[in-house]
Amino acid sequence: MKKLLYLPLVFLALQLQAQQNVVFKIKYLPNHVYAGAITMGFDIKANLSGDTATLKKMAAQGITQPLALSMNMKMEGATKTDAPGTNGNFPIKIGYKFDNLSLELNGNAVPMPTDKLGEGVNIYGHVSADGKISADSIGGKKIADTSDEKVAKLMNAIQKQINFPPHPMKIGETFTQDMPLNIPMAGNNININSKVVYTLVSIADGNANFDVQQSMDMSVPIAGASINLKGTGAGKLVYSIKDSFATDYNTTVDMKITGQVKTLKIDATAQMKMEYKYTVN
């Protein structure tokens, strides 16, 4: 009788041990739809110094210091995968569009070119048997060595951004990832160097929960000059074990901004908040 009583306890102990040691990997599965939304908020408080005439002209136009700049963006999209072929590869379609893009300066709305904002972009490609994503075309047009190719590379980098350790992780274990990113924008490139430290804090209800510590170094080319942003922050990551996918991520990063545009020197602080949520079906 005692042996019979021990069996459920042994089974429970084995289940708990299995839950506490999991191999994590971000991968797309065939015949699935990954629907998600990304929101980003950027708040800047800036002081400008330098050319007196330019500063007086700005003040006459009602642009007073310190400058308070606020930008908000929302992007929605869906990634759809189809059935695999004989070689194990399967098609993938990545579609996204901007639902919102707004900019305010000192509480006043700044006009933004949003007439084509909701048209969206579709990237077509395939996923190999080992999980590698390759982009083949954008909007039905074959990718050439153009800005379209840069966009495809960017999307591939975003989709594969978390590289978990190849071994089972235990509660309290950490891993660090360097995440360089190059974003094409208006004929220039925004270079971002980011380091992220992930700590596995719990496994419950089919999800693994991570604490996130992040540092960021960003260079933004403007009018022949460069604006530099450096900062640190923290956030949370939720990974769905059955879906092999990160379904929830949020982070807040506080930054220091320095640089010079033409005759004006910039000294500013900023806070960036980013969140993405995915549902997998």
Contacts of 147-150 with C-beta under 8 Å, sequence gap 24+, read 147/184, 150/182, 150/184
Q: Which pair of structure tokens corresponds to residue 126?
A: 């395939």
What mean pLDDT value characterizes the chain? 81
The answer on pLDDT for 269 being more than 90 is yes
pLDDT, tens digit (0-9, with 9 covering 90-100), for 130-185: 777 777 787 756 655 454 455 555 555 555 568 899 899 999 999 998 877 666 55
pLDDT score of 17: 43
- Bridge partners of residue 133, in order along the sequence: 127
pLDDT exceeding 90 applies to what percent of the chain? 39
Contact between residue 105 and residue 69 where contact means Cβ atoms under 8 Å apart: yes
Q: Kindly provide the residue ranges of all beta strands, DSSP E only, lying in 128-180, ordered along the sequence.
A: 133-138, 141-142, 174-178
pLDDT, tens digit (0-9, with 9 covering 90-100), for 205-256: 999 999 999 998 988 777 667 788 899 999 999 999 999 999 999 999 999 9
CATH 2.60.40, applies to 29-280? no
pLDDT score of 206: 93
> pLDDT band at residue 26, thresholds of 50, 70 and 90?
confident
Query: What is the average pLDDT across 69-84?
Result: 91
Q: Domain ranges for the chain, please list them.
A: 29-280
The residues, ordered by sequence, that sit 6+ positions from 224 with a Cβ below 8 Å of its Cβ are none
Query: What is the average pLDDT across 82-86?
Result: 93
Choose between 5 and 120: higher pLDDT.
120
Residue with tokens 């990954």: 34
> pLDDT band at residue 78, thresholds of 50, 70 and 90?
very high
Choose between 123 and 170: higher pLDDT.
170
